[in-house]
């Protein structure tokens, strides 16, 4: 690997320190306040890793690049700070793609650095070359390829600015290895140059007043709160607004925790596996106020039937989301927190919705989530309830994707924000374990419980190594039904029980697997065993894995079948 000792011509007049691009990168990351880097080295980033060797920023060596980026997502979710990832060119970069797409759909701030082959050979199919810029263009908020070392400080500053302002999202910076080797003058005062990027943060006051007028006129209002409220750290404003306007509140999957689950105005999660009361409110409302959600199809069901009688007000910082899926009567572009402040300043007044609130309250009482319990078999719902009881509802809960994810959303009511880490939009299996690692690193003071399915766990289970290596006290609870549970459920309900490749044969002994990574492992096969080992595991000071064998054929109910409206839920009652 050659090192170009000639400083960049564009920077020769500067009086700033002379250093190579890799050292610039480290200094720029320190300038941005980066606390931890998730990464995996390789040929195109060796100079960068040499700079990291004594660069002063902790680096977490995951066992696969997918582990790096999901860990960065978990860190970003609980801290609100950008997760930083470094990987090499070619396969290192492409192994990040799933996580980048996941962060894009769930609006998580990431800054991802990839190595690239030298500029002179880009496009020649050089060893470990992949066009990561072309590959990630549709799944990043923005991406850069650095062609001159003098541009590096400015680009890094812009990458962090874009990732964390407006609607958060992933930004990728691709650095050819001759650029990371090249010498240049480090400009630590580099400024953001993005005249075309001006997110609208403050909403238009006239539109805010239209929302309040609609509330006063409504008889059946509902407030839908999504992850945008959490990104804006606006949960207290949301609660005050709902209470003053007397609005029933529904959360999206990613918005859970933005409103206290025990609050009398809370109806639960809406959507495919949401509560009856929440979906009834979304279906029958005459006013739907959406704050910080994007009307995902898993929330709306068949759009033909969604909120058909409602005036729709949509508050979102991303104007592209407004009217994209659901026609909007009152569009409000702006930050959720700023919008809620303005709504409160204007003096929200409740409409005549007392009868509606009583009706929804009765629906909530009459038709809660249900399951048939057993003393012989461990029902997954009861397992989640046990975890909630033992942790007193105070854990940061991280899930993978599938049935266990929905049961955790249903049976672990959240009273506080930023305690729910899951993959919503992309539905990424393999997300859970590394995301829990990132969450624990971001919140070392918190109890982090990873609720995982046996299928998703096996996609990234090699990251168990990090729990021991960094002594992270994550409690890994496997909801083990020896199947790809949600796939099996759909095959049972919609494919005549033809279980094509959804039952997992030859499942490894997960307790022995944990022990192979020097982590204590426990197993439970019935409720009494589960209660005992969960209490023991949660009392352990370090990482623990608990393999819980639950009823294999259990399904998640209620459910809105694919293609149906929210009013066509099945399994609402036993």
Which is the catalytic residue, given 27, 65, 151, 321?
65
Q: In terms of Cα–Cα distance, which of 511, 255, 533, 510 is closest to 383?
A: 533
In the chain, helix, strand, coil percent, each to 5?
A: 40, 15, 40
Which is the catalytic residue, given 127, 346, 349, 532?
127
Count of Cβ atoms closer than 10 Å to residue 154 Cβ = 18
Query: Does position 11 have pLDDT exceeding 70, yes or no?
Result: no
Query: Does position 234 have pLDDT exceeding 90, yes or no?
Result: yes
pLDDT score, position 16? 80
pLDDT score, position 299? 97
Report the greatest alpha carbon distance in the chain. Answer: 77
Look-up of token digits 């049961």: 407
Q: In terms of Cα–Cα distance, which of 271, 298, 296, 266 is closest to 282?
A: 271
Which is the catalytic residue, given 32, 81, 128, 210?
128
- Helix or strand or coil: residue 571? coil
The answer to whether 284 is a known catalytic residue is: no
Q: In terms of Cα–Cα distance, which of 416, 417, 521, 424 is closest to 477?
A: 521
Structure tokens at 440: 């624990």
Q: How many CA atoms lie within 13 A of 393 on its CB side?
A: 13
Structure tokens at 89: 């060119």
Residues 464-508 have pLDDT tens digits of: 999 999 999 999 999 999 999 999 999 999 999 999 999 998 899
Q: Can you point out the beta strands (E) in 140-195?
A: 142-145, 170-176, 183-185
Q: In terms of Cα–Cα distance, which of 288, 265, 291 is closest to 360?
A: 265
Residues 74-114 have pLDDT tens digits of: 999 999 999 999 999 999 999 999 999 999 999 999 999 99
With beta carbons less than 8 A apart as the criterion, state whether 180 and 162 touch.
no
The answer to whether 127 is a known catalytic residue is: yes
Q: In terms of Cα–Cα distance, which of 64, 71, 24 is closest to 42?
A: 64
Residues 521-540 have pLDDT tens digits of: 999 999 999 999 999 999 99
Would residue 386 be called left, alpha or beta, if left means φ above 0 and alpha means ψ between -120 and 50 degrees? alpha
The answer to whether 259 is a known catalytic residue is: no
pLDDT score, position 505? 85
Residues 349-396 have pLDDT tens digits of: 999 999 999 999 999 999 999 999 999 999 999 999 999 999 999 999
pLDDT score, position 267? 98
Count of Cβ atoms closer than 10 Å to residue 5 Cβ = 10
Residues 265-311 have pLDDT tens digits of: 999 999 999 999 999 999 999 999 999 999 999 999 999 999 999 99
With beta carbons less than 8 A apart as the criterion, state whether 69 and 112 touch.
yes
Q: 501: Cβ–Cβ under 8 A, 6 or more apart, which residues?
A: none
Q: In terms of Cα–Cα distance, which of 267, 243, 494 is closest to 348?
A: 243
pLDDT score, position 15? 62
Which is the catalytic residue, given 177, 220, 341, 364?
177
Q: In terms of Cα–Cα distance, which of 431, 455, 514, 423 is closest to 68?
A: 431
Q: 360: Cβ–Cβ under 8 A, 6 or more apart, which residues?
A: 248, 267, 277, 280, 281
Q: In terms of Cα–Cα distance, which of 66, 344, 11, 21 is closest to 174?
A: 21
Q: In terms of Cα–Cα distance, which of 21, 1, 22, 26 is closest to 11?
A: 21
pLDDT score, position 4? 40
With beta carbons less than 8 A apart as the criterion, state whether 73 and 163 touch.
no
With beta carbons less than 8 A apart as the criterion, state whether 154 and 28 touch.
no
């Amino acid at each position: 690997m050659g090192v170009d000792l000639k400083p960049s011509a564009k920077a020769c007049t500067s009086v700033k320190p002379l250093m190579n691009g890799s050292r610039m990168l480290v200094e720029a990351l320190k300038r941005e306040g980066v606390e931890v880097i998730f990464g995996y080295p390789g040929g195109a980033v060796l100079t960068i890793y040499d700079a990291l060797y004594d660069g002063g920023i902790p680096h977490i060596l995951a066992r696969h690049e997918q582990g790096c980026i999901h860990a960065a997502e978990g860190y970003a979710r609980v801290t609100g700070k950008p997760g930083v990832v470094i990987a090499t060119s070619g396969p290192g970069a492409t192994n990040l793609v799933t996580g980048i797409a996941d962060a894009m759909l769930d609006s998580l701030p990431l800054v991802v650095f990839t190595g690239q082959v030298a500029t002179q050979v880009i496009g020649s199919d050089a060893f470990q070359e992949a066009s990561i810029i072309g590959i990630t263009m549709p799944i990043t908020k923005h991406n850069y390829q650095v062609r001159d070392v003098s541009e590096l400080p400015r680009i890094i500053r812009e990458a962090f600015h874009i990732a964390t302002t407006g609607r958060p999202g992933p930004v990728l910076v691709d650095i050819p290895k001759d650029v990371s080797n090249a010498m240049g003058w480090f400009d630590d005062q580099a400024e953001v140059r993005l005249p075309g990027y001006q997110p609208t943060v403050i909403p238009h006051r006239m539109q805010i007043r239209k929302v309040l007028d609609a509330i006063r006129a409504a008889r059946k209002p509902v407030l839908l709160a999504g992850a945008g409220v959490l990104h804006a750290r606006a949960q207290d404003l949301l609660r005050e607004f709902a209470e003053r306007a007397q609005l029933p509140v529904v959360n999206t999957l990613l918005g859970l925790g933005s409103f206290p689950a025990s609050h009398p105005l809370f109806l639960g999660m809406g959507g495919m596996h949401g509560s009856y009361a929440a979906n009834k409110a979304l279906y029958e409302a005459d006013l739907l106020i959406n704050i910080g959600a994007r009307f995902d199809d898993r929330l709306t069901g068949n759009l033909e039937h969604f909120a058909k009688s409602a005036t729709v007000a949509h508050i979102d910082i991303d104007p592209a989301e407004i009217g994209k899926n659901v026609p909007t009567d009152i569009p409000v572009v702006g930050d959720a927190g700023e919008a809620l402040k303005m709504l409160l300043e204007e003096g929200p007044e409740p409409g005549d919705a007392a009868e509606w609130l009583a009706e929804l309250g009765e629906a909530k009482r009459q038709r809660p989530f249900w399951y048939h319990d057993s003393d012989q078999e461990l029902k997954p719902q009861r397992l989640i309830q046990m975890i909630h009881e033992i942790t007193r509802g105070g854990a940061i809960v991280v899930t993978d994707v599938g049935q266990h994810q929905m049961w955790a959303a249903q049976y672990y009511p959240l009273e506080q924000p930023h305690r729910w880490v899951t993959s919503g939009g992309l539905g990424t299996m393999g997300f859970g374990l590394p995301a829990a690692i990132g969450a624990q690193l971001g919140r070392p003071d918190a109890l982090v419980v990873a609720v995982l399915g046996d299928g998703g766990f096996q996609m990234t289970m090699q990251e168990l190594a990090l729990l021991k290596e960094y002594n992270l006290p994550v409690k890994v609870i496997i909801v083990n039904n020896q199947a790809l549970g949600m796939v099996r459920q759909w095959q049972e309900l919609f494919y005549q029980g033809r279980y094509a490749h959804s039952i997992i044969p030859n499942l490894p002994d997960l307790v022995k697997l944990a022990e192979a990574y020097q982590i204590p492992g426990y197993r439970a096969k019935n409720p009494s065993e589960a209660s005992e080992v969960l209490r023991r595991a949660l009392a352990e000071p370090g990482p623990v894995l608990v393999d819980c064998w639950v009823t294999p054929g259990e399904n998640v109910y209620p459910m809105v079948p694919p293609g149906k409206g929210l009013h066509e839920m099945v399994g609402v009652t036993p």
